Amino acid sequence: MKKFNLFSLAVAGMLALCVFGCQKKDAATTATANQDEISAATKSQITSLGFSTENARKVAGGYLVEGDILLSEANLTEKAETAHLSVAETEQYRTTNLVKALPRVITISVTNLPAVYGNAVDAMITRYNNLGLRFTFQRAAAGTTGQINVIGFNEGPSGGYITLGSSGFPTASGNPYSEIKMNTNPAAYGANPNLLYLTSVLQHEVGHCIGFRHTDYSNRAYSCGGTAVNEGQSNVGAIQIPGTPSGPDAASFMLACSNGGDRTFNANDVKAINYLYK
């Protein structure tokens, strides 16, 4: 959220405007430096996919955009499967690719992270499984790597923001994105991470893994502050989910910026996820 994406959290003094993987509103001074690492051609590809290039940066495996979303080189050249793409308003949005071969079980593993992260994964799994969708999550067998693997990284604040976690979108073949990275730096969650907050961040990152965009795709200023940004018509990657609200949705689990606490599915989120996967 703005992840993120993954979620990113504005530095400790700005918890009320924390970003699930994105940047805090006073980060503009370093945005140019981060973007200078990315060529104009790549920025054009990112924009054509319907993603903001604001504070985008080159990372291992691709490009981190909107704070918590990892786009690989392959993502940048993928073609849309449908022409039904919308100029963003405030409804829930999905990516072109969704999880396929349903019903199915999706396994999740946790690698080299403190116990609280594993507990948060279990709580996140329960939240999704309680929805009765055409997929269910379960922990991978001990010693094995799941179809989604949760790993750690340690990165402090940079340029006025800190990344809480990151993930990506489903593959063209219909598998969920395979990795969620969670920041273990104390500036992200503190020395004693809150279970429910970790659960909420993981829930958001899994939302990306199964194909959800940020609810405030059209205007991240709504949840994050700062300047309103609407990427406009894209050629892939931002498809409106029918039946979701046309006005701001202050409690959506897929908002770009978190409130620093526990945020789970609201009624509109359930409507959106049911439309895709029930």
Q: Does some domain include residue 2?
A: no
pLDDT for res 28: 33
Residue 269 burial by CB count (10 A; 0-12/13-18/19+): exposed, middle or buried? buried
pLDDT one-digit tens code per residue, 14-30:
332 333 443 322 333 33
Q: What's the domain range around 261?
A: 8-277
Q: Residue 116 is encoded by which pair of tokens?
A: 């609280």
Q: Does some domain include residue 1?
A: no
Q: Residue 68 is encoded by which pair of tokens?
A: 């918590």
Residue 174's contacts (CB-CB under 8 Å, 6 or more residues apart) are: 97, 98, 99, 100, 101
pLDDT digit string (tens) for the chain, length 278 residues: 333 334 433 333 333 233 344 332 233 333 444 455 789 989 888 887 778 787 788 988 889 888 788 888 888 877 655 444 343 344 576 777 899 999 999 999 999 999 999 999 999 999 999 999 999 999 999 999 999 999 999 999 876 678 899 999 999 899 999 999 999 999 999 999 999 999 999 999 999 999 998 887 666 666 676 665 555 545 556 667 777 766 667 788 988 777 778 999 999 899 999 999 99
Q: Does some domain include residue 115?
A: yes
Domains: count for the chain? 1
Q: How far apart are CA 267 and CA 278, in angstroms?
A: 14
Q: How far apart are CA 184 and CA 152, in angstroms?
A: 6
- State the CATH number of the domain containing residue 34: 3.40.390.10
Q: How far apart are CA 256 and CA 66, in angstroms?
A: 8
Q: How far apart are CA 250 and CA 267, in angstroms?
A: 12
Q: What DSSP character marks residue 102?
A: S
